[in-house]
Amino acid sequence: MQEQTLSPGEAAELSELLRAVYGRDAGGAPDAATLSRLRELEARAAATRLPADAGADEEEADAPPPADPPPDLSEPPALPAAASIVPTAVRRSWLTRRRRRMGAIVMATLLGGAVGVAGAAVALAPPQPDEVLRPVTGAAIPPYVAQSSIFVYVGADRDNGIVAYEARRGIQAYTFVSTTGERCLLVDVDAGYTLSACGRGSVDPLVDIYPGQGGPEMLEHGLTDGALVRVVARDGVVELWVEGAPPDPT
């Protein structure tokens, strides 16, 4: 037999503690001192068997078998972290979908901004002329143009100051500067019908022609009767702006 490690008094104390903690008459959770003493006596009793004793056998027979100690209710149980609950594959799938969704939102935003900028650029872009006539170096000036009364009226140098431009749609344009510094425009329609005007400051010189009325020969150059051709001299070129005939009111 192994050496006894509990005295009879300690064995009786252990029996009382077992009934008080685990018995059917146990009332509530024991205090820390009681639990500590119970665990100490249980550890010592587990090291050896108690000597046979009738009274002790009856007490041990009446006591319920040892159970797990009651849980510590002073603090709530710790829950596992959310990341440890969700499987790794699920987390990766969710992150992939989130990244794709964010990428789609960013791409849609960028495309929307680009379309908006392009639309604004188109909306703000100024209209362009139908024709741009550029200067022609060394072009001969017809006598009827050089003898036009406009040169006498504005006092221009008809021998050296006239610039000729490309001929388009039956229109030949010339520019010159008056003695007072005004920029002037002379338009020759189909070699014989001339119109002229001068600008001032930031106002460019322009001449309006109505094919079929002021320039009937212009109808042979793809222009319709009742159309408007505006000729404007600016920025070193001559622009032609063509607007079709207005609709028939009937």
In angstroms, rounded to a whole number, what is the distance separating the alpha carbons of residues 204 and 183? 8
Q: pLDDT of the chain along its 250 residues, tens only?
A: 445 567 888 888 888 888 877 777 666 777 888 888 888 888 888 875 545 444 555 555 555 666 666 655 555 555 454 444 445 655 566 567 767 777 778 777 777 766 665 555 555 778 999 899 999 988 888 888 878 888 778 877 766 678 999 988 888 999 988 888 889 898 988 767 788 899 988 999 999 987 766 555 566 666 777 788 899 999 999 999 988 777 766 6
In the β-sheet with 228-234, what is the strand arrangement from edge to edge?
Answer: 131-133, 237-243, 228-234, 206-209
DSSP 119: H
Q: Kindly report each contact of residues 242-246 with a partner whose C-beta sits within 8 Å and lies 24 or more positions away, as own/partner.
A: 242/130, 242/131, 242/169
Helix residue spans in the chain (DSSP H): 8-22, 32-46, 54-62, 82-85, 88-124, 143-146, 149-154
Please state, in angstroms and as integers, the Cα–Cα distance from residue 92 to each residue in 1, 54, 89, 99, following that order.
63, 67, 5, 10
Instruction: Give this prediction's pTM.
Output: 0.48
Instruction: Please give the pLDDT value at position 59.
Output: 54
Write down the pLDDT at residue 185: 92
Residue 221, classified by CB atoms within 10 Å of its CB into exposed (0-12), middle (13-18) or buried (19+), is middle
What's the pLDDT at 226? 75
